[in-house]
Amino acid sequence: MSAAREGLNYERMRMDAASRNIAAANVPVPVGQTATQWKVDLQAGDFGQLVGSGTAAHETPTGSRSVHDPAHPMADSDGMVRYPDTDLVHEMTTLMTASRGYEANVRSFNLLRNMTLRALEIGAK
């Protein structure tokens, strides 16, 4: 049950990171600051430690895309406004796969719980 619970936490973190990236895709980056995106990094063998502590999700510097909009209040001297370079197709794919992974973990948790309850019923008879 703890493995399913950790899986639920991991998939939730992936959904949170992807949704934050999508939400920030059209938020301009102030002049002099670096664009960032949320990432979930797990190394082999670190799953339980990172998910349990919540340190797997973090902001990392990323590239930026520039849009010419001289009337924008955050435009630089050349009239360019910078936005995080977010690949919306990748982020939406991450949301879909994380959602399906979350559903799979819910199903496995419920199946294991039902099996445990059934075993307790058999043992009580």
In this model, does residue 27 exceed pLDDT 70? yes
- Summarize pLDDT for 31-52 with one digit per residue, the tens: 888 999 988 877 545 555 555 5
- Summarize pLDDT for 89-103 with one digit per residue, the tens: 999 999 999 999 999
* Residue 2: alpha-carbon gap to chain centroid: 20
Question: Mean of the per-residue pLDDT values for the chain?
Answer: 87
Count up the domains in the chain and report the number: 1
- pLDDT bracket for residue 111 (50, 70, 90): very high
Question: pLDDT value at position 49?
Answer: 58
Question: pLDDT value at position 2?
Answer: 83
What are the start-end ranges of the E strands in the chain? 36-40, 57-61, 64-68, 80-84
Q: Is the dihedral of CA 16, 20, 21, 23 positive or negative?
A: positive
Q: What is the pTM of this model?
A: 0.78
Q: Which of 88, 85, 89, 25 is nearest to 61 (CA)?
A: 85
Question: pLDDT value at position 6?
Answer: 85
Tokens of 98: 């994380």
Full residue range of the structural domain in which residue 114 is found: 2-124
Question: pLDDT value at position 29?
Answer: 92
